[in-house]
């Protein structure tokens, strides 16, 4: 079954190293918590808030451990600049082949994005405060 796995994080400033590091950390968490491998990923779509442009977050795929990440199709785009929306945000949608039921998929939100989608974060994470999701 093909499932969409959501995630988001924020950075402190528009800095290439920080964008790549935070994006790689978000991806590692999604991969680890959903039992994924590169060959089971159909594609990854990244978006960034309009105030970020120092790096392509898709480049963070090459920072993941293991083989095959350079072959995963990925694309980046800019979020719609809605007034009052979260600043310095990086969002991701991973389409992956998995045997997990939709309710068992682990979506990951961290940094200033931790409260964006509490409805997608597992109840276990909410009991722990949700600060790492």
Would you call 62 a catalytic residue per the annotation?
A: yes
* Residue among 18, 28, 76, 100 flagged as catalytic: 76
Would you call 91 a catalytic residue per the annotation?
A: yes
Would you call 13 a catalytic residue per the annotation?
A: no
Token look-up 């405060």 returns 129
* Residue among 18, 28, 100, 117 flagged as catalytic: 117
* Residue among 3, 40, 91, 106 flagged as catalytic: 91
Would you call 16 a catalytic residue per the annotation?
A: no
Nearest CA-CA partner of 47 in 88, 82, 76 = 76
Would you call 124 a catalytic residue per the annotation?
A: no
* Residue among 40, 88, 109, 133 flagged as catalytic: 109
* Residue among 13, 62, 71, 87 flagged as catalytic: 62
Phi/psi at 14 (5° precision): -80, 80
* Residue among 6, 40, 88, 133 flagged as catalytic: 6
Phi/psi at 55 (5° precision): -160, 155
Phi/psi at 92 (5° precision): -140, 145
The catalytic site residues sit at 6, 62, 76, 79, 91, 109, 117
């Amino acid at each position: 079954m093909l499932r969409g796995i959501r995630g988001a994080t924020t950075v402190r400033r528009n800095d290439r190293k920080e964008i790549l590091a935070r994006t790689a950390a978000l991806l590692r968490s999604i991969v680890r918590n959903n039992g994924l491998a590169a060959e089971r990923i159909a594609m990854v779509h990244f978006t960034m808030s309009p105030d970020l442009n120092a790096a392509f977050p898709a480049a963070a795929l090459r920072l993941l451990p293991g083989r095959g990440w350079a072959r995963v199709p990925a694309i980046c785009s800019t979020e719609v600049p809605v007034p009052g929306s979260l600043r310095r945000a990086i969002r991701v949608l991973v389409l992956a082949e998995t045997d997990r039921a939709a309710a068992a998929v682990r979506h990951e939100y961290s940094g200033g994005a931790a409260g964006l989608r509490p409805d997608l974060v597992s109840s276990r994470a909410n009991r722990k405060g949700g600060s790492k999701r």
